[in-house]
Structure 1
Amino acid sequence: MYWFSCYAMLSILFICTNNAGRSQLAEAICNHEFADSFKALSAGARATQVSAELYQYFQQHELQASHQTSKALESLPAQKFDYVITLCSEAKQECLSLPDSPGVLHWELPSTRDEQGQPRFDDIAALLRQQLKRLQTYIQQRPQSLEPLQVFKLLSDETRLQIMMLIEDEQRLSVNELCQALAESQPKTSRHLALLRESGLLSTTRHGQQIFYHLPDCHDAWVAKVLATTRIANPSLINLPLLRLRELRLQLANQES
């Protein structure tokens, strides 16, 4: 079970070397400004001490984080996080054993102090907000039921793979167009389309009496890349279907003229 999953939000553990600057700031901003999506905690390869200047920054920017203290990873109770995010290269290298998580990310952030030793909390906070916004947007847009094993299982069928490649190539296609291109019956083509739509790999749009199938607007980037790469590397898989499709469109154009 995921930590805080009953509240329909995702848990994040931020890690930096000493848990004194970057990860403390990330925890505070995440819990204050992105509380509708995430619940954050922070830790370090080792525990040190949060600076008084950072506490002052929290207070000045109304970040309710005066309770935050530096914690070592080993002091955390066993729990599973949705995301574990390291914030410096030292933490990435030193923390060889990370808490259990399906999502491990690395956001390289500069030190919270410049070369003269002056704090630059505003700069780090801006970078953190940018990264958190990207993560939040991705999570809100991703198809929730789309899992790698499911995707590759669906694409292991030649007809479904051809359908996805044709739609990746043509942007949108109707059932009739796909039947003609694949030289398959309408019931068989519709069954394959239903599986692809239910999985989140395809979406539909109605225009008049016609239903068109297309890739979802919020398609996972990795799925789109798989389809594009497959299309480029294996053009012969849909050469004949594309020829049939163009013949169909030519016939329809001649009938209208």
Structure 2
Amino acid sequence: MDKKIVYFLCTGNSCRSQMAEGFGKEILGETWDVYSAGVEAHGLNPRAIEMMNEKGIDITNQSSSIIDKEILNRSDLVITLCGDAKDRCPTIPANVQTTHWDLPDPAKAEGTEEEISLEFRSVRDEIEKRIKSLAEN
């Protein structure tokens, strides 16, 4: 059986969608091909890499890229992770299921190093929870 395709989208493809791609490959990899992209490409956020390492998932080989219309059109499920991506995403074909997870951008977190790390962990853990739930359906 062919794998389904899930495409995680956010603004810069640096944090949320990268973490979602990492969890997706780890949790859904048997049955899904997992991709991520952004409306823009901002590069991988070093703190996202660090936070995923805490979960034993290495995302250093992932790359930050802009939305690929070919992947978008072949996707079975597109998940937007922020309002910006939802609003600025190219038209998604009607046959592609879409879901929106409105998650705060941890890259915009302010405060001490610990407070910023807490925001990253909070968003990371929410993404993990939602992907585990997706795997159960």
Q: How high is the TM-score relative to the length of structure 2? A: 0.81
Identical amino acids, percent of aligned pairs:
25
- Give 1:121's aligned residue: 120
Q: Quote the Cα distance in structure 2 between the aligned partners of 1:47 and 1:24.
A: 11
Q: Quote the Cα distance in structure 2 between the aligned partners of 1:81 and 1:101.
A: 9
- Give 2:99's aligned residue: 105
Cα RMSD, aligned residues only: 2.2
- Give 1:78's aligned residue: 70
Contact kept in structure 2, 1:50 and 1:69, CA below 8 Å: yes
Which of these residues, 29, 38, 41, is aligned with residue 44 of structure 1?
38
- Give 2:84's aligned residue: 90
Map 1:201-212; keep pairs closer than 5 Å: none
Runs of 4 or more above 3 Å deviation? 98-101
Choose between structure 1 and 2 for higher RCO, CA contacts under 8 A separated by at least 6 residues: 2
Post-superposition Cα deviations, 1:4-58, rounded to whole Å, max 9, x if no partner, equal x62xx32110000111110000000110133233321100001111122222233
- How far apart are residue 88 of structure 1 and its match? 0.3
Contact kept in structure 1, 2:27 and 2:132, CA below 8 Å: no
Letter in 2 for 1:33: I
Q: Which has the higher helix share?
A: 1
Q: Quote the Cα distance in structure 1 between the aligned partners of 2:41 and 2:95.
A: 21
Q: Which structure 1 segments of 5+ residues have no match? A: 139-257
Q: How high is the TM-score relative to the length of structure 1? A: 0.46
Q: For the structure 1 residues 12 and 135, does the alpha-carbon distance in structure 2 shift closer, same or farther, using more than 3 Å as the test?
A: same
- Give 1:25's aligned residue: 19
Q: For the structure 1 residues 61 and 83, does the alpha-carbon distance in structure 2 shift closer, same or farther, using more than 3 Å as the test?
A: same
Contact kept in structure 2, 1:46 and 1:71, CA below 8 Å: yes
Letter in 1 for 2:46: A
Letter in 1 for 2:12: N
Kindly name which structure, 1 or 2, has the bigger radius of gyration based on alpha carbons.
1
Q: Across the two proteins, how many residue pairs are aligned to each other?
A: 130
